[in-house]
Amino acid sequence: AILQMIKEFRPTLVGISATMILKVPTVRDLIKDIRTHFLPEYTPRILVGGSAFRSLPDVFQEIGADGFGYDLRSLTSLLA
């Protein structure tokens, strides 16, 4: 469903939030699916946030995200 929405709306940015650390592998798999499905013709920027990433702020690079935001303000600064 998410890949279909991205295909239909072609956003420049996709935000993914996870509350539990146990969901980080699921987010990693989703990021991989997005990149695999749309490359090379198109890929949105992917930013992650939520409690799971606040606990592990450097893990966003390991799972293939383009950035991490601790809160809405920090995400806004990434977009500037």
> Residue 61's domain is classified under what CATH number?
3.40.50.280
- Count how many domains the chain has: 1
Average pLDDT value for residue range 43-62: 92
80: pLDDT strictly greater than 90: no
E strands, 1-80, in order? 13-17, 45-49, 67-69
Res 71: pLDDT: 82
| pTM of model > 0.85 | yes
Two tokens at 53?
């990433």
- How many C-beta neighbours within 10 Å does residue 17 have? 14
Two tokens at 39?
């490359």
Range of the domain at 71: 2-79
